[in-house]
Amino acid sequence: MCGIFGCVLSEGSAAPIIHRALERLEYRGYDSVGEATVYGGRVHVKKAAGKIGEIHKLLNLDDLPGSVGIGHTRWATHGKPSDRNAHPLFDCKENVAVVHNGIIENYQELKDMLIEKGHSFISDTDTEIIPHLIEENISLGLEKAVMEAVRKFEGRYAIAAISSDENMLVGVRRGSPLIVGRSENKTFIASDIPAFLNHTNQVMYLDDNEMVVIDGNVRFFNTETGQSIEKRLITINWDAKQAEKGEYPYFVIKEIMEQKETIMRAINQDENTILRTAEEIKRAYGTFFTGCGTAGKVCMAGEYIFSKVAKKHVNFVISSEFPNYKHFLTDKTLLITISQSGETADLMEAVETARKMGVKVLSLVNVMGSSLYRNSDYAFLLNAGPEKAVASTKATTAQLALVTLLAYAVAGRLQEGKRLLMETASKVNDMLNPRYEARIAELARKLKDSQSIYIIGRSLNYPMAMEAAIKIMELSNIHAQGFAGGELKHGPLALIQDGTPCIVFAANDETRVDIISNAMEVKARGGYIIGVSPRNNEVFDYWIKVPDVGNASPVVNIIPIQILAYHLALLRGCDPDYCRNLAKSVTVK
């Protein structure tokens, strides 16, 4: 949700580096792009609304002088996407430039105060108050002026600032991610590591209320106390290639295909840690799963998997609603959080709420060093590698596999769970072949003009029906909705007309007879039935075969729908990587 970037080079031009970094951060927002550099006592800027490729053609983003600069790719919150609202934003004299990710909650009050003092504003953004606040104290130097300014903001943010008179970059973090990368003669700050991964894998994480000042040196401070802080350099085991599309036309199809390996990587965890965690889960009195969007659907599947496999009840609450449950939290409660990015604002707020009540936090997260990873008592890395497409795919199946493994560990059947998931990983490897994709692409051609697509499932596959709907909606912009099979007759059947497509997850388990009956009910009203199942059935108008993997069925069932949603996106002219109105890593509430 907005990508910010900054760099200080000992020599050479910053602009091409900022441009490449913004391309890698584009998944965080694609409403506008901008960059600014310092050279010859001036701040130079290029910015406009639109996608980075188009803007580069118009403005040549590689062509700005100077070796210190900042950049921004925007997901609009305050103020619609426009050239005027594009970051960087400036003070009155255009000496201070700022990029920002997050929301300044008290911006209106600060704006009124600044206007009264004579400042003039040109954008509709909350961000613009930041350069003007810095301007108030710029005579003290950028470092001190930023420190004074941030003490006045409220909200969640990460910012980067430069000024015309200093070869210096200042970054501050509170609630939105900001990471420092260092190579021998270049230092970077960015919202996400892939922005600079082609230069270095040596990073330092900023925590909340921390500031980094980069000139010849790199110094860290606490913004509340002003005290300096020591940081450890950490080596990241991602390589730059993992964050590129390679031979694939889009990140999302690359990431779907990577599921040949990522499920195996997710379950390849230290067994002692799994067993210790299982004991923690058993000991907890009151356990909650929480996450947002797709990760939330995995949490809901986790509730079913734990109930079925471990005979343990775990509550599921989507993160944005979690604060309503604070009355049930004690120091014996365990919160299990699931997230790809580890930066989702609603989830981080749930963690904050839980922490205040003394709750322990266990996380399943993909991004090492993310806010969630660092704020957890116990954390498992999903090891799926960078997920760049807005639609989550490989992180989802990694999360499902790991939740399933944990449930088996809690049941005292870790080895059985491991064997099941290894078999699942190997069957996914066989499944993801060109013939399989072609069969699903054929189905996409049949469904591409549908008004709505419904998906039904029962038990473990009810949450997957809802996840399938998220994939279809965000990728193809077709209305889609997932239901529990048993709920149809209580309302949704009214939506079925001649030809209405209905995807049916019919696992080979105790729910099969009932879900097939539900499919019959839809078919009797004219519905077009697409069966996702290990076995064909006469009710299916179109059958997508999936392997029979018992309790791991959610992992294999969702994959053909990811492929279907991708092909629907292509056929309908939607960008499969950059879903309309959405962004990866949702750092606003």
Distance CA(538)–CA(531), nearest Å, equals 10
Segment contacting ligand M6R by CB under 6 A, of 325-333, 506-514, 554-562, 581-589:
581-589
Long-range contacts of 433-436 (CB under 8 A, 24+ apart): 436/560, 436/563
Beta carbon nearer to ligand M6R, 76 or 391:
391
Read out DSSP for 240-299?
GGGGS-TTSSSHHHHHHHTHHHHHHHHH---HHHHHHHHHHHHH-SSEEEEE-HHHHHHH
Helix (H, G, I), strand (E, B) or coil at 335: strand
Dist CA 153 CA 148 (whole Å): 10
Residue type, 304: Y
Q: Which of 2, 292, 574, 579 is catalytic?
A: 2
**CA pair distance 483, 473, nearest whole angstrom:** 15
How far is residue 290's CA from residue 357's CA, in Å, rounded to a whole number?
16
Exactly one of 176, 344, 397, 518 binds ligand M6R (CB under 6 A); that residue is: 344
Least CB distance from residue 401 to ligand M6R, whole Å?
Answer: 15
Alpha carbon separation from 159 to 1, 101, 168, 170 (Å, rounded): 13, 6, 14, 8
Minimal distance, residue 370 CB to ligand M6R, in Å = 9
Residues 472-511 that bind ligand M6R (CB under 6 A): 474
How many CA atoms lie less than 13 Å away from 100 in the CB half-sphere?
27
Q: Are 172 and 156 in contact (CB under 8 A)?
A: no
| 584 given a catalytic annotation | yes
* 263 contributes a contact to ligand M6R by CB under 6 A: no
For residue 487, the minimal CB distance to ligand M6R (Å) is 22
391 binds ligand M6R (CB under 6 A): yes
Considering only 125, 176, 392, 476, the residue that binds ligand M6R (CB under 6 A) is: 392
Residues 436-475: x where in contact with ligand M6R by CB under 6 A, - otherwise, as a string: ----------------------------------x---x-
Choose one: 40-48, 67-75, 229-237, 386-394; the region binding ligand M6R (CB under 6 A).
Answer: 386-394
- Least CB distance to ligand M6R at residue 362 (A): 15
Cα torsion for 65, 35, 160, 142, to the nearest 10°? 40
State the minimum distance, in angstroms, from the CB of residue 114 to ligand M6R: 34
Q: Which is nearer to ligand M6R, 4 or 390 (CB)?
A: 390
Q: In residues, how long is the chain?
A: 589
Residue found by looking up tokens 């997710």 in the block: 266
Q: Which is nearer to ligand M6R, 405 or 586 (CB)?
A: 586
What kind and span of H or E run contains 5? strand 3-9
Closest CB 512 distance from ligand M6R, rounded Å? 28
Strand-pair category, 210-214 with 360-365: unpaired
Asked if 113 and 121 touch (Cβ cutoff 8 Å), the reply is no
- Nearest approach, Cβ of residue 339 and ligand M6R (Å): 3
Q: Is 551 in the site for ligand M6R (CB under 6 A)?
A: no
Choosing from 114, 134, 354, 586, the residue that interacts with ligand M6R (CB under 6 A) is 586
Q: Which of 47, 297, 418, 584 is catalytic?
A: 584
Range in contact with ligand M6R (rule: CB under 6 A) among 21-29, 188-196, 210-218, 578-586: 578-586
Q: Does 223 bind ligand M6R (CB under 6 A)?
A: no
Is the Cβ of residue 347 or residue 552 nearer to ligand M6R in the bound state? 347
User: Do 383 and 265 meet the contact criterion of CB atoms below 8 Å apart?
Assistant: yes
Compute how many residues bind ligand M6R; rule: CB under 6 A.
Answer: 17
Among 390, 428, 440, 519, indicate the residue that binds ligand M6R (CB under 6 A). Answer: 390
CB atoms within 10 A of CB 246: 8
Angle at 176 between CA 166 and CA 223, to 5 degrees: 50
Distance CA 113, CA 119 (A): 9
The residue at minimum Cβ distance from ligand M6R is 293
Nearer to ligand M6R, 80 or 580 (CB): 580
Complex with ligand M6R: residue 294 or 518, whichever CB lies closer: 294
Q: Which two tokens stand for residue 359?
A: 């709750």
Distance CA(424)–CA(556), nearest Å, equals: 8
Shortest distance, position 520 Cβ to ligand M6R, whole Å: 31
Contact status: 339 vs ligand M6R (CB under 6 A): yes
Residue 326 annotated among the catalytic residues of the structure: no
Residue 392 CB, shortest distance to ligand M6R, in Å, is 4
| DSSP three-state, residue 68 | strand
**CA 321 – CA 309 distance, rounded (Å):** 27
Instruction: Write the binding mask 278 to 297 for ligand M6R: x where contact by CB under 6 A, - elsewhere.
Output: --------------xxxx--
Q: Which amino acid, 518?
A: N
Point out which residues bind ligand M6R (CB under 6 A).
292-295, 339-341, 344, 347, 390-392, 470, 474, 582, 585-586
Catalytic residue numbers read 2, 584
